[in-house]
């Protein structure tokens, strides 16, 4: 018995994904569009290639903002595998339009204060590690940032630890609303309890991927008490 229901066509168009239809990455996007979610092993099985090959392409697509990690799934033995889906942009979400409309309602002179207030909130979750040194706090800081999709990592530096953002969640609008960078600085100060200076903004000189780089210079007195109070 045949169905009269038309076959569902992929929603991810070539012009939206920005790549030729026959490439591996375009096929990955089509897979995620048709199956909603997928792991490297699941995509590799469908495309008859190795999971290692697919993981490399998934990392690039994630860095480009075309897909996003939404969780982990246990498949057989070993460590749980990362689960991916299309990003909100490719799925046609209107969040950027909403954010722009909301920010436009705030007078430009007050936007900086609003962004700092949001940053001080820790974006909903503070780190409970006030007795740790700055270096000891870094793994928890990076974990929290990556929950917020910053693709962050940290490294030692002459002036203090440096936080590197491999992805700016607000990249599509930050040029119009630079106050968002101030929110990131305040967020880092809240999480790390240190004085933070941004020294690079979407800099592509290091490794080709646009990076935002922040230096954590010294522990701020009183921030820990503020975190506990909030």
* Alpha-carbon span 82 to 133, nearest angstrom: 31
Handedness of CA 19, 24, 25, 29 (dihedral sign): positive
Contacts of 30 (CB under 8 A, 6+ apart): 10, 12
pLDDT digits (tens, 9 = 90+) for 141-188: 999 898 888 889 999 988 899 999 988 888 888 889 999 999 999 999
4 in a domain, yes or no? Answer: no
> Strands across the sheet with 211-219, in order?
152-155, 162-165, 211-219, 194-203
Q: Are residues 212 and 143 in the same domain?
A: yes
Domain that holds residue 116: 109-229
Q: Are residues 162 and 223 in the same domain?
A: yes
- We report the CATH number of the domain holding residue 59 as 1.10.10.10
Which stretch of 59-68, 72-81, 148-157 has the lowest confidence by average pLDDT? 72-81
8 in a domain, yes or no? Answer: no
Q: Are residues 55 and 134 in the same domain?
A: no
Contact 181, 174 (CB under 8 A): yes
Q: What is the pTM of this model?
A: 0.61
3 in a domain, yes or no? Answer: no
Q: Are residues 177 and 210 in the same domain?
A: yes
């Amino acid at each position: 018995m045949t169905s009269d229901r038309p076959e569902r066509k992929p929603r991810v168009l070539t012009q939206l994904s920005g790549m030729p239809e026959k490439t591996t990455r375009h096929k990955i996007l089509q897979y995620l569009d048709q199956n909603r979610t997928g792991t490297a092993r699941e995509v590799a099985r469908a495309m008859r290639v190795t999971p290692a090959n697919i993981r490399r392409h998934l990392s690039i697509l994630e860095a480009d903002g075309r897909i996003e990690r939404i969780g982990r799934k246990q498949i057989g033995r070993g460590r749980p595998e990362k689960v991916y889906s299309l990003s909100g942009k490719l799925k046609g979400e209107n969040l950027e339009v909403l954010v722009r409309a909301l920010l436009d309602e705030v007078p430009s002179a007050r936007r900086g204060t609003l962004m700092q207030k949001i940053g001080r909130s820790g974006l909903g979750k503070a780190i409970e590690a006030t007795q740790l040194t700055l270096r000891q706090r870094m793994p928890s800081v990076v974990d929290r940032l990556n929950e917020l999709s910053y693709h962050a990592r940290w490294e030692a530096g002459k002036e203090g630890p440096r936080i590197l953002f491999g992805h700016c969640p607000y990249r599509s609008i930050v040029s119009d609303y630079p106050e968002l960078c101030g929110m990131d600085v305040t967020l880092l100060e809240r999480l790390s309890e240190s004085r933070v200076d941004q020294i690079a903004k979407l800099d592509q000189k290091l490794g080709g991927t646009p990076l935002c780089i922040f230096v954590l210079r010294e522990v701020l007195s009183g921030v820990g008490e503020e975190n506990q109070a909030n």
